[in-house]
A and B are shown apart, each in its own frame.
Chain A
């Protein structure tokens, strides 16, 4: 989601000892890093704690940090190591750990994860069905763009398509999802007032 240049700038400021940069990196990479942890553990609170620990660790080492060309990739590597460490040291907080559904590999699929956190209500089912009716390519790009929070440059490069094509595929997929979910959407989700007061709380805190 973030222009690489911004995150690069914040990285350099982190090395200079600016605490604003620490918060900036947290907010810019929040979705990508949390969901990376979710993929490995199915536990987003654990993912958040690990991401926090990663940033604190980088802060400790700020005077010896290298210049980094791809900040996101660097953070992902740190996050991976951190989570593996948590799991290996047995502190993986079983009580909060969501059970991996039967027949699953070691990684969580986006869909199973959503079902686990949102419950199996009518809207979740409708969403899953609509999502599964998309082509493999569409599903893959939606996941990369919104769940992994990758930018179009990265997606285009990974998939061997142009940015324009990536953009169009995502746009069409969203349009299809929207049309298939018409009539379902209104009954679900928090009312907007709740959303806004939550957002206000965030600003005021």
Chain B
């Protein structure tokens, strides 16, 4: 989650921010401490939001909670019960349909270990005895669904539709390695002693403290890494190594030559060196708007910037959880530009119709047919 554009009222409404103020979730506390250290200019804003939230919650600040929690654990100990320290720390921060991935993750846990135990194992500080090593934590989203959560190390992730994120074995032992299929935005918790590595089918990304977006869907023709701040190193499967600077993106072509992709302002030297396999481009800004096209999905905005109808259809399929069928292949080559803020699929198609003629019809709930 990118909190840089949050106002005080947005912070007050954010669950992880609330947990930071009250101190009920150490992962949230750690995240916000690191965030504040990285953005000292936000101190006043955070303070304003904190003061308002603490008034509204009846003055239950971190100090009060710490005192109460100590009394609670003392009472447990007096009864001979060893209080569990870990479980709630690992509760991922979810929003919207968050519970759905929870259910999915439960289904994916073939070991029969209860999920909480898995989170315990993923915890950073001293996992309790008896948790098996080698479990894999998985986060998945269905088409039409998006999720925001926090990894055990405090890294914030927003997972776009139809995507899967798997933490590799040993994530909690300081090896911050995971595998992504689909698209996600990462705001990496800083930990210089432990590099953060993301594997996708076509490349490995090594993170050097940063916020960035990775788009690596299996059915797309290109794979994109967009860097907002910090620094990342990308090792492509073809053996190239690329360092990205902020506001740049790396586009890797999968099945076609890179010349088919229109760069806006490519770094010339890199493009030549690339052997037409990848290019480095700048991020796309919409005129009269601060939004960055590559990251618009995080804010629930659907943006097309001179995209082909074929690409747009794939985006719409994931966004709305539908199947789109072209009855005329020629339509795939149509190009559209436009942006949409929480519109229905029907409305999006109607607006696209204004720019170039085509017809569409719904077949059942999940299929759209496009005709000339």
Contacts and interface: CB of A to CB of B under 8 A. Distances in A.
A31 B8 contact: no
Nearest to A48: B68
Contact of B54 (A113, A174, A189): A189
Contacts of A159: none
Interface in B67-126: 68-73, 75-76, 79, 81-88, 91, 94, 98-99, 102-103, 114-116, 120, 125
A24 B59 contact: no
A117 B53 CA distance: 16
B11 to A, nearest CB: 9
Nearest to B103: A5
Interface string B42-76: 01101111111111111111111110111111011
Interface in A1-41: 1, 3-6, 9-10, 13, 18-24, 26-28, 30-31, 34-35, 38
Given A19-B81, A23-B84, A202 B58 contact: no
Contacts of B52: 174, 177-178, 181, 185
A23 B87 contact: yes
A96 interface: no
A198 B61 contact: yes
B13 interface: yes
B58 A203 contact: no
B306 interface: no
Contact of A199 (B9, B12, B20, B128): B20
Interface stretch (A68-76, A84-92, A98-106, A142-150): A142-150
Contacts of A3: 94, 98-99, 102
Given A3-B94, A18-B116, A205 B66 contact: yes
Nearest to B19: A1
Contacts of B59: 114, 117-118
A203 B87 contact: no
B106 to A, nearest CB: 9
B58 A44 contact: yes
B57 A35 contact: yes
B70 A205 contact: yes
Contact of B62 (A6, A9, A181, A198): A198
Interface in A124-148: 127, 142-143, 145-147
Interface residues of A, number: 68
A20 B114 CA distance: 12
Contacts of A175: 7, 9
B60 A34 contact: yes
Nearest to A189: B51
Given A24-B87, A30-B24, A192 B47 contact: yes
B26 interface: yes
A114 B55 contact: yes
B25 interface: yes
A65 interface: no
Contacts of B125: 203
A195 B61 contact: yes
A5 B114 CA distance: 14
A179 to B, nearest CB: 9
Contact of A28 (B26, B43, B88): B88
Interface string A160-202: 0000000100110011011001000110111010011011011
A170 B84 contact: no
B29 interface: yes
Given A23-B83, A146-B53, A147-B57, A174 B47 contact: no
Contacts of B98: 3
A82 to B, nearest CB: 13
A64 to B, nearest CB: 18
Given A20-B84, A198-B61, A198-B63, 5 more contacts: A19-B82, A20-B86, A114-B55, A199-B33, A205-B70
Interface of A: 1, 3-6, 9-10, 13, 18-24, 26-28, 30-31, 34-35, 38, 44-45, 48-49, 51-53, 55-56, 59, 110, 113-114, 117-118, 123, 127, 142-143, 145-147, 149, 167, 170-171, 174-175, 177-178, 181, 185-186, 188-190, 192, 195-196, 198-199, 201-203, 205
21 contacts: A1-B15, A9-B115, A19-B76, A21-B116, A24-B84, A26-B69, A28-B88, A30-B65, A31-B58, A52-B75, A110-B58, A175-B7, A177-B9, A178-B49, A192-B36, A195-B50, A198-B23, A199-B29, A203-B30, A203-B125, A205-B70
